[in-house]
Amino acid sequence: MSRLPKNGFTLLELLVYIGILSFVLVVIAGVFITFGQGKGKVDARAEINQNLSLIIGKIQQDLQDADSVSTPSSTNDATSSLSMDVNGTTVSYATSSDSTLFTRTSGSDTQTINSGKVKFNSFLVERLENTNYTLNQTFVTIKVIITASTNNDASEEQYSQTKQTSVVLRQN
């Protein structure tokens, strides 16, 4: 009796191969999905951090150049807007009803200063005063606290961050 040479795969070997290959592909797909979700979170953090850093820097610069601050006007009074006189021009910061932060300079229209990917949950400004009786001077500090989050409904891209700054106003 002659035996035929075995040049092919048996059905069982083929099924085992397909099973192993399917398992490996599922693992690889899971890794790519996880990395994709992580990238969304990283992008959201970067966008919020960039917006907050830019806005905090702009507010700090305006406060350092300010001749006076009219809002908030009283000590330990937290408001949701900031208004100051910078070189004879009134500069204001506030949030709108759609959670965007805008600035207005006297004689011009409002200007949104954040990207559409970020919404502002909180914008608080507090006036602090410290009297030095030895020098007979009162030093005014403006404290700004901003909380921003992503303007996206995708759960993997949800992120919120709070930043604050304090600026001592220059004495005239």
Phi-psi region of 129 (alpha: psi -120 to 50; beta: other; left: phi over 0): beta
Separation in Å, CA 119 to CA 25, 63, 140, 143: 39, 23, 29, 20
- pLDDT tens by residue, 8-67: 778 888 899 999 999 999 999 999 888 877 888 888 899 999 999 999 999 999 999 988
Token representation of residue 162? 């709070």
- How far is residue 48's CA from residue 152's CA, in Å, rounded to a whole number? 12
Query: How far is Cα 23 from Cα 85, in angstroms, rounded to an integer?
Result: 66
Q: Which two tokens stand for residue 76?
A: 């330990």
pLDDT tens readout for residues 104-139: 888 788 888 888 889 989 999 999 888 888 888 888
Please check the confidence at residue 102 and state whether its pLDDT lies above 90: no
% of the chain surpassing 90 pLDDT:
32
Which residue is it, tokens 């610069």?
61
Nearest to 70 by CA among 26, 19, 125, 123: 125
> What was the pLDDT predicted at 132?
85
d(CA 168, CA 132): 14
Q: How many residues does the chain have?
A: 172
Radius of gyration of the chain (CA): 29
Predicted model pTM: 0.74
Angle at 170 between CA 165 and CA 171, to 5 degrees: 145
Per-residue model confidence (pLDDT) at position 145: 94
**Residue at 95: amino acid letter:** T
